[in-house]
Protein backbone atom coordinates (compact mmCIF):
# COMPACT_ATOMS: atom_id res chain seq x y z
CA UNK A 1 0.00 0.00 0.00
CA UNK A 2 1.49 3.33 -1.00
CA UNK A 3 1.51 6.22 1.37
CA UNK A 4 3.13 9.59 1.35
CA UNK A 5 6.51 9.05 2.95
CA UNK A 6 6.60 12.42 4.68
CA UNK A 7 3.05 12.16 5.94
CA UNK A 8 2.98 9.14 8.22
CA UNK A 9 0.52 8.47 10.99
CA UNK A 10 2.20 10.49 13.74
CA UNK A 11 -0.37 13.14 14.66
CA UNK A 12 0.68 16.75 15.13
CA UNK A 13 -1.09 16.70 18.49
CA UNK A 14 -1.60 13.37 20.23
CA UNK A 15 -4.77 12.61 22.17
CA UNK A 16 -2.66 11.69 25.20
CA UNK A 17 -1.07 15.14 25.13
CA UNK A 18 -4.54 16.71 25.32
CA UNK A 19 -5.54 14.34 28.10
CA UNK A 20 -2.53 15.53 30.09
CA UNK A 21 -3.44 19.15 29.44
CA UNK A 22 -7.01 18.43 30.54
CA UNK A 23 -5.66 16.98 33.77
CA UNK A 24 -3.48 20.05 34.30
CA UNK A 25 -6.44 22.33 33.69
CA UNK A 26 -8.51 20.35 36.14
CA UNK A 27 -5.74 20.52 38.75
CA UNK A 28 -5.54 24.24 38.13
CA UNK A 29 -9.29 24.59 38.70
CA UNK A 30 -8.90 22.73 41.98
CA UNK A 31 -5.97 24.89 43.09
CA UNK A 32 -7.86 28.10 42.33
CA UNK A 33 -10.89 26.73 44.15
CA UNK A 34 -8.76 26.10 47.23
CA UNK A 35 -7.24 29.57 47.05
CA UNK A 36 -10.72 31.00 46.77
CA UNK A 37 -11.84 29.08 49.87
CA UNK A 38 -8.85 30.35 51.84
CA UNK A 39 -9.53 33.90 50.73
CA UNK A 40 -13.16 33.64 51.85
CA UNK A 41 -12.14 32.16 55.21
CA UNK A 42 -9.83 35.08 55.97
CA UNK A 43 -11.39 38.06 54.22
CA UNK A 44 -14.59 39.40 55.66
CA UNK A 45 -16.08 40.74 52.51
CA UNK A 46 -15.77 38.32 49.63
CA UNK A 47 -14.24 41.02 47.56
CA UNK A 48 -13.79 41.50 43.88
CA UNK A 49 -10.86 39.08 44.01
CA UNK A 50 -13.20 36.35 45.25
CA UNK A 51 -15.56 36.81 42.34
CA UNK A 52 -12.69 36.79 39.93
CA UNK A 53 -11.39 33.54 41.41
CA UNK A 54 -14.82 31.98 40.93
CA UNK A 55 -14.72 33.06 37.31
CA UNK A 56 -11.22 31.61 36.99
CA UNK A 57 -12.36 28.26 38.44
CA UNK A 58 -15.18 28.12 35.90
CA UNK A 59 -12.85 29.01 33.05
CA UNK A 60 -10.29 26.38 34.06
CA UNK A 61 -13.03 23.73 34.38
CA UNK A 62 -14.30 24.75 30.95
CA UNK A 63 -10.80 24.37 29.54
CA UNK A 64 -10.49 20.91 31.11
CA UNK A 65 -13.83 19.88 29.61
CA UNK A 66 -12.97 21.12 26.12
CA UNK A 67 -9.51 19.53 26.23
CA UNK A 68 -10.96 16.18 27.26
CA UNK A 69 -13.52 16.40 24.46
CA UNK A 70 -10.79 17.33 21.99
CA UNK A 71 -8.73 14.33 23.12
CA UNK A 72 -11.78 12.17 22.39
CA UNK A 73 -12.06 13.69 18.92
CA UNK A 74 -8.42 12.92 18.21
CA UNK A 75 -8.22 9.34 19.43
CA UNK A 76 -8.87 7.20 16.39
CA UNK A 77 -11.17 4.19 16.39
CA UNK A 78 -9.10 1.04 16.73
CA UNK A 79 -8.23 -0.45 13.36
CA UNK A 80 -9.24 2.56 11.35
CA UNK A 81 -7.26 5.52 10.17
CA UNK A 82 -8.24 9.10 9.66
CA UNK A 83 -7.85 11.47 6.77
CA UNK A 84 -5.54 13.99 8.41
CA UNK A 85 -5.63 16.61 5.65
CA UNK A 86 -4.82 19.87 7.39
CA UNK A 87 -8.10 21.62 6.54
CA UNK A 88 -11.68 20.58 7.03
CA UNK A 89 -14.44 19.78 4.55
CA UNK A 90 -18.10 18.86 4.58
CA UNK A 91 -18.02 15.05 4.86
CA UNK A 92 -20.46 14.84 1.93
CA UNK A 93 -19.76 17.84 -0.24
CA UNK A 94 -16.09 18.67 0.10
CA UNK A 95 -14.76 22.19 -0.07
CA UNK A 96 -18.08 23.89 0.59
CA UNK A 97 -17.51 25.22 4.09
CA UNK A 98 -18.00 28.79 5.13
CA UNK A 99 -18.21 30.35 8.53
CA UNK A 100 -17.98 33.26 10.86
CA UNK A 101 -17.12 33.90 14.50
CA UNK A 102 -15.95 30.40 15.25
CA UNK A 103 -18.91 28.63 13.63
CA UNK A 104 -18.97 26.95 10.26
CA UNK A 105 -21.47 25.35 7.92
CA UNK A 106 -21.81 23.75 4.47
CA UNK A 107 -22.98 26.09 1.71
CA UNK A 108 -24.51 23.30 -0.40
CA UNK A 109 -28.29 23.78 -0.45
CA UNK A 110 -30.05 21.04 1.44
CA UNK A 111 -26.95 19.84 3.30
CA UNK A 112 -27.73 21.59 6.57
CA UNK A 113 -24.55 20.46 8.33
CA UNK A 114 -23.00 22.97 10.69
CA UNK A 115 -20.32 22.93 13.36
CA UNK A 116 -19.76 25.02 16.45
CA UNK A 117 -16.12 25.54 15.55
CA UNK A 118 -14.11 26.72 12.55
CA UNK A 119 -14.04 23.34 10.85
CA UNK A 120 -12.37 24.57 7.66
CA UNK A 121 -9.18 25.51 9.49
CA UNK A 122 -8.82 22.32 11.54
CA UNK A 123 -7.26 19.02 10.46
CA UNK A 124 -9.73 16.50 9.08
CA UNK A 125 -10.65 13.56 11.32
CA UNK A 126 -13.02 11.75 8.95
CA UNK A 127 -12.24 8.09 8.19
CA UNK A 128 -10.19 7.23 5.13
CA UNK A 129 -12.44 6.30 2.21
CA UNK A 130 -10.39 6.67 -0.98
CA UNK A 131 -6.89 6.45 -2.31
CA UNK A 132 -6.72 9.59 -4.45
CA UNK A 133 -4.27 9.55 -7.39
CA UNK A 134 -3.13 12.56 -9.36
CA UNK A 135 -2.16 12.34 -13.04
CA UNK A 136 1.49 12.60 -11.93
CA UNK A 137 1.10 9.43 -9.91
CA UNK A 138 1.02 10.92 -6.41
CA UNK A 139 -1.34 9.08 -4.15
CA UNK A 140 -2.92 10.16 -0.88
CA UNK A 141 -5.47 8.42 1.30
CA UNK A 142 -8.41 10.73 2.02
CA UNK A 143 -11.91 10.80 3.44
CA UNK A 144 -14.93 11.07 1.17
CA UNK A 145 -15.29 14.84 1.54
CA UNK A 146 -11.65 15.44 0.64
CA UNK A 147 -11.87 13.04 -2.30
CA UNK A 148 -14.88 15.04 -3.56
CA UNK A 149 -12.90 18.25 -3.08
CA UNK A 150 -9.88 16.80 -4.91
CA UNK A 151 -12.07 15.87 -7.88
CA UNK A 152 -13.35 19.44 -8.08
CA UNK A 153 -9.99 21.11 -7.54
CA UNK A 154 -7.86 19.14 -9.93
CA UNK A 155 -8.45 17.55 -13.32
CA UNK A 156 -7.52 13.95 -14.02
CA UNK A 157 -7.88 12.67 -10.44
CA UNK A 158 -8.74 9.01 -9.99
CA UNK A 159 -10.25 7.47 -6.87
CA UNK A 160 -9.77 3.95 -5.54
CA UNK A 161 -12.19 3.08 -2.75
CA UNK A 162 -10.53 1.92 0.46
CA UNK A 163 -12.60 -0.57 2.47
CA UNK A 164 -13.50 0.94 5.85
CA UNK A 165 -12.07 -1.87 7.94
CA UNK A 166 -8.67 -2.06 6.30
CA UNK A 167 -5.71 -1.81 8.66
CA UNK A 168 -3.20 1.01 8.45
CA UNK A 169 -0.94 -1.27 6.43
CA UNK A 170 0.63 -4.69 6.39
CA UNK A 171 2.82 -5.10 9.45
CA UNK A 172 4.96 -8.16 9.85
ZN1 LIG B 1 -22.48 19.54 2.88
ZN1 LIG C 1 -10.71 14.53 5.01
| pLDDT tens, position by position, 45-68 | 667 888 899 999 999 999 988 888
DSSP secondary structure letters along 69-85: HHHHHHSPPTT--B---
Percentage with pLDDT > 90 across the chain = 45
Cα-to-centroid distance, 123 and ligand 1 (Å)? 17
Cα(82)–Cα(143) distance, integer angstroms:
7
Q: What is the distance between the alpha carbons of residues 20 and 24, in angstroms, rounded to a whole number?
A: 6
Contact assessment for residue 139 and residue 86, using Cβ atoms and an 8 Å cutoff: no
Ligand nearest to the CA of 128: 2
Closest listed ligand to the CA of 86? 2
pLDDT for the residue 77: 53
* Mean pLDDT, the chain, integer: 84
User: Which pLDDT value is given to residue 93?
Assistant: 96
pLDDT tens figures, 161-171: 987 654 554 44
- Distance from first CA to last CA of the chain, Å, rounded? 14
Measure 171 CA to ligand 1 centroid, in angstroms: 36
pLDDT for res 63: 93
pLDDT tens-place string over residues 67-87 = 887 887 776 555 457 887 889
Model pLDDT, residue 8: 55
pLDDT-derived band of residue 6, with 50, 70 and 90 as boundaries? very low
pLDDT digits (tens, 9 = 90+) for 111-136: 999 998 889 988 888 989 999 999 88
Alpha carbon of 69 to ligand 2 centroid (Å): 20
Percent of the chain with pLDDT over 70: 83
The bound ligand whose nearest atom lies closest to the alpha carbon of 90 is 1
Does residue 13 have a pLDDT over 90?
no
pLDDT at 142 (0 to 100): 93
- Report domain extents, the chain: 15-74
Task: Tell me, in angstroms, the distance from the centre of ligand 2 to residue 171's CA.
Answer: 24
In sequence order, the 6+-apart residues with CB closer than 8 A to the CB of 121 are 87, 88
Q: Which ligand is nearest to the CA of 119?
A: 2
Ligand at minimal distance from the CA of 88 is: 2
Distance 139 CA to ligand 2 centre (A): 14
Amino acid sequence: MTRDAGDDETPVVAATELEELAEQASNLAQAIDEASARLRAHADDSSKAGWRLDEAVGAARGAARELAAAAGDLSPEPGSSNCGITWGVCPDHGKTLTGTAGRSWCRRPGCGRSWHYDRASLPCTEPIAFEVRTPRGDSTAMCRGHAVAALELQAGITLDPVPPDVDAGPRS
